[in-house]
Structure 1
């Protein structure tokens, strides 16, 4: 079979290959690395950050969570 025999193949063509990331490649460290760092440095405060995206072109929330004090701020 040739591509001309498959109308969908001619119309759509080849798709993109998805990149696969490991945790250490994407964020610069794994979960165990961050836990070990927090154990070594007891005076460091852990902070979690997240974003909430609404519709495309719409509002976006930035959420900051201070773990030790259980305080969550949203901007």
Structure 2
């Protein structure tokens, strides 16, 4: 297994994390806009996030708000 590689395709707003080398045998949609890529053994080799900028912004904001709410108690 090689080093993980992260690539962002700005025009398409797609974030791709390659975890291992090799061809993709199939993919599984975990949730809208998030897909995992599997090799022929069913092992995870990549993750793709569509509409990445919105997804990451919203995820970070939600995490920050949750932390701030717990700190304020």
Whether TM exceeds 0.5 here: the answer is: no
Q: Compare the two structures and name the one with the higher strand fraction.
A: 2
Ranked by relative contact order (alpha carbons within 8 Å, sequence separation 6 or more), the top structure is 2
Structure with greater helix share of residues = 1
The TM tier, using the shorter chain, reads under 0.3
Q: TM-score, normalised by structure 2?
A: 0.26
